[in-house]
Structure 1
Amino acid sequence: MDKQSVKQSLSPEQARVSELAAELRILISSVSRKLRAQASAGEFTPSQRSVLLRLERDGPTTVTALARAEGVRPQSMGATVSGLESAGHIKGTPDPADGRQTILSLTPRFLSMIQASRAAREDWLVREIHACYNAKEQESLAKAIELLKRLVSH
């Protein structure tokens, strides 16, 4: 069954929800691209980005734990980690409990890059919100944000 046939078989409510979903997906992609264009902490592969975000969120850990959390083989994670270490984004220190293990963490320099990048993106958002929306529209935006939070927490 092609897309057109599927759309024709939907009720008006289902069709509207389908349209909303498509519009929201496109809008979120556009906003994401705009934010990435404002400041970047570097160009990373999806697996590198995932490792960096996990280390930031969960704290220091081992290659084995990262591999398990990301659902990849330790050898694959080792290659990802090696590239990030070479670039100076993460560092390894011996595990005090098990000298055979290495504990990986983000470098202070990379943490500073992340903070600067986020600040630049937030500054852009503040400027754009002030420029594009009056006070009443900003309230509507705040309500929409609450609805979107519910969408992602469901």
Structure 2
Amino acid sequence: MASSLVLSYSIPQRLIHWLMAGLILFNLLFAEAMEELSEAVEEGQTPTPDMIASANIHAYVGIAVLCLAVIRVVLRLTHGAPEALAEEPPLGRLAAKVAHGAFYLLFFAMPISGALAYYGGVEAAGGPHAGPMKLVMWVLIVVHVGAVLVHQFVWKTPVAQRMTKG
């Protein structure tokens, strides 16, 4: 489907967007389980079953995000995406493209680097995962929400409805 004909995101696209948002937010807010397990192992302590279970939940949520990201890309390729609104300034359009590209990159890079660190023992993957990638994800979320609010209340455009009502 040509993206110029798309006025809104499809129901599956919207569901995946909000499901991923919730899962990503969960993992960002509850990452200490993984950090606690790593510290225990580094200090030579035996991790408790609760530590392992909590770390596994973080890992499983990350795997779910990765699987949903694959589906999301397939849906974007098959269903398209709405074009930027004419009211949006050119710099805003560019910023949106860069931000969305960074989101998609992180949808894949964060779960893969986390899995490499947790399941593969690749310590070099854990640092970027828990450090710069996590920080960039937080920044993108804040900017994304801010941009939606600008669209809604400053430019008075219906961008938010594309991902809520359709």
Please confirm whether the aligned pair reaches a TM-score higher than 0.5, indicating the same fold: no
Flag the structure with more relative contact order, 1 or 2, with Cα contacts below 8 A and sequence separation at least 6: 2
- Give the structure with higher Rg (CA): 1
TM-score by length of 2: 0.27
TM-score by length of 1: 0.29
Greater per-residue helix proportion: 2
